[in-house]
Structure 1
C-alpha cells in the first residue's frame, strides 16, 4: 500500500543516513536469501508478494540510495546474479551461498569442485570453549555432546550429531569432552581453510570469500569463530593465516581428495603437491618458497626452495610436484614463504586422514619467556593448542603445526597462568 511504502521508505532513509559515513561500508545489500527463496516459492503464497519483493528491493531501496548515498554500490540480495530472480545462486555470476559442506554432509574436498565468482556464505560448526559451556550448566554430566543442555544450546537441529559424523571421518573418537570440543574446532577450522585457500588460489575467477559466522549472541554451539564470551576458537587463528595479505598454500592430492574406495591400497592414487602464493596487496612481492618432505621424527628426506615473483592482486602457481614414494602414514610436507628474512606464511600437509597418521608423541613442553610463550616439540606436532587456566588467552598464533624444535608466540591478552598444551596426537 502507499502507506506501507511511505513507512519503509522513511526507515530506509533513517538507516542509510545512520550508516553511510562508515569507512568499512563496502556495499548495501537488499536482503539475505530472499530472492532465492521467493523464486523457489518458499517465502511467498501469492503472486502479489513476488511483485512486492521487486517493489521493495529493486525499486524503492535503489531510489532512496540514489538520493542519500549515490556513491556506494547496491546489490539487490545475497546470493544474487543481479536481481529479477535470474538464477540467484548461479556459480558463474554474482555471489553464491554454498552449504553442501555441512548441511549437505559433503566432505571438505567438495569445495575444490567449484570456482564461484564470489563465495559470500559458507560455514561449518564447532563447540565453543569448555569454559564457555560451563556457564550454561552446573551439572558436569551435561557436558556431553548429546545431553539435553548441549542439544538445546545447538543453533542447528541435529548439529551435534553432524559434527560427530564429520569427526569420525577425520579423527579417532575423543576419550573425553574436552578433546571432543578441541577436535570439533579443528574440523571447523580445517573445513573453512580448505574452502578459502581454494578460492584464493583461483583469484581472478573467484574474487572473494566470506565465511559464516564471526560471533555469537549467546553461549552456543554454532558456526562462529569467536564465542559469546570473546574466546577465539581454532578457526579464528586459522583466519589470520588464510586471510593473510600474502599467503602460501598447498593443493595436495591425498586420501582426502580422491573418491574414497577403502578396498584400494594407499599407493594406488596420485600423491602430489602444488604450491600457490596469493597476494592481495597493491604491491608486488618477491618471496622465497621453501618446502620439505619430512619424517615425523624430524628427519628431512627432501627439501627444495624457489624464488617467486608475485604481482599485486594476483595468485601465482608453482609447478606441480609428484611424490609417488611418500609414506602416507609416517611422512609429511612442510612449506614456508619467506620475505625479508622472515616467515610470512607457513603450513604442513599430510596424505592420509588424521586418524590414520602415525603421529609420534611430540612430548610438548611450554614455558613463558617475557611476553612470549615458547613451545618445544620433539617430533612433528599438528594443530598445537595453548590454553591458560581460564581459557581466555589471545595469542599471536595458536592451533599451529610445528616441526620438531621450538616455536615462539606473543601474548596479546590474558595471563599465562596454568598453561596446558596439546596436539592431534592427544586425540
Structure 2
C-alpha cells in the first residue's frame, strides 16, 4: 500500500481544509450550516441544503449565505427538519453543499439514524476510465445515492478524491497522476457502503 492514501487521509484533506462548511445537528432535528474560516481573509459562502430520499428525490430544499470573517466561525440560523423527517428517519438523509468565495467547496451528508439502521438502496455505480498523458480520469455515476464510494486501483497513486458520496444521478469526475513510465490503464474497482453488508428492512 505504499503510495496509496487510506480513507482517513482522504477525509482529513476535507476536514482540515482552510475554509470548511459543516452541519451541526441539535436536539429537535435542527440542522445548522456553519463555516470555519482558518484563512487571513474574510469569506463568503453560498449554502444549499436538501432532504433527499434513498432514490435521490428532493423532499425539501433551502438556500442561504454565510459571511465569515478571517480566523473565525459563523453560522446560518438553524433549520428545523423535525416535521419533514418524522416517520421517514430510516429512509432519508440531509445533504449540504457549501461553495466558498475562494473557489473551494464543502460537501456534508448527515443521516438521521446510524448508517446500519438506514434503508440504503443497492446502488449500481458505473465506472469509466480514460487516460490523457500521465493523468487518469475516472468517471462515476450511480442510479441511486451511494455513500462512501471507494475507488481502488492496482497501481500506487493518490486520487483527487475518494470515499465520496454520490448523491445525484450525474457524473462525478476523479483524477490522479499515474506513476512515471506506467503503460496503459490500471485496473479500477469501485464499491460503496451498501456492498459492505446487508441492510435489513426490519430495523
Structure 1 length normalisation: TM-score? 0.41
Using CA pairs under 8 Å that are at least 6 residues apart, name the structure with larger relative contact order, 1 or 2: 2
Partner residue, 2:16 = 243
Gaps of 5+ in 2: 197-203
Map residues 283-298 of structure 1 onto 2, 5 A cutoff: 283-298=41-56
The one of 58, 74, 94 equivalent to 1:333 is: 94
Residue 195 of structure 2 corresponds to residue 420 of structure 1 = no
Partner of 1:356: 117
The equivalent residue for 1:393 is 157
Decide whether the 8 Å contact of 2:141 with 2:166 is kept in 1: no
Given candidates 35, 39, 53, the residue that maps to 1:277 is 35
Q: Greater CA radius of gyration, 1 or 2?
A: 1
Q: Does the 8 A contact of 1:296 with 1:379 survive in 2?
A: yes
Report if aligned partners of 2:43, 2:102 keep a CA contact under 8 Å in 1: no
Give the match for residue 404 of structure 1: 168
1:62 corresponds to: none
Contact 1:387 1:393 survives alignment (8 Å): no
Task: Please report how far the alpha carbon of residue 233 of structure 1 lies from its aligned counterpart in structure 2 after TM superposition.
Answer: 0.8
Of residues 75, 79, 82, the one that matches 1:321 is: 79
Tell me the CA shift for residue 283 of structure 1: 0.5
Following the alignment from structure 1 to structure 2, what is the Cα–Cα distance between the partners of residues 374 and 249? 26
Q: Tell me, yes or no, if the aligned pair for 2:34 and 2:66 is still in contact at 8 Å.
A: no
Q: Say how many residue pairs are matched.
A: 184
8 Å contact 1:290–1:305 — kept in the other structure?
yes
Deviations 1:171-193 (Å, cap 9, x if unpaired)?
A: xxxxxxxxxxxxxxxxxxxxxxx
> Residues 20-61 of structure 1: CA distance to partner in whole angstroms, max 9, x if unpaired?
xxxxxxxxxxxxxxxxxxxxxxxxxxxxxxxxxxxxxxxxxx
- Structure number with higher strand proportion: 2
Matches within 5 A, 1:106-255: 132=1, 229-253=2-26
**Offset of 1:369 from its aligned partner?**
3.6
The structure-2 alpha-carbon separation of the partners of 1:413 and 1:235, relative to structure 1 and needing over 3 Å to count, comes to farther
For residues 280-328 of structure 1, the C-alpha deviation after alignment (integer angstroms, 9 at most, x for no partner) is 1100111101111111111101111112111110111221222113122
Higher share in helix = 1
Work out whether residues 297 and 404 of structure 1, in 8 Å CA contact, stay in contact via their aligned partners in 2.
no
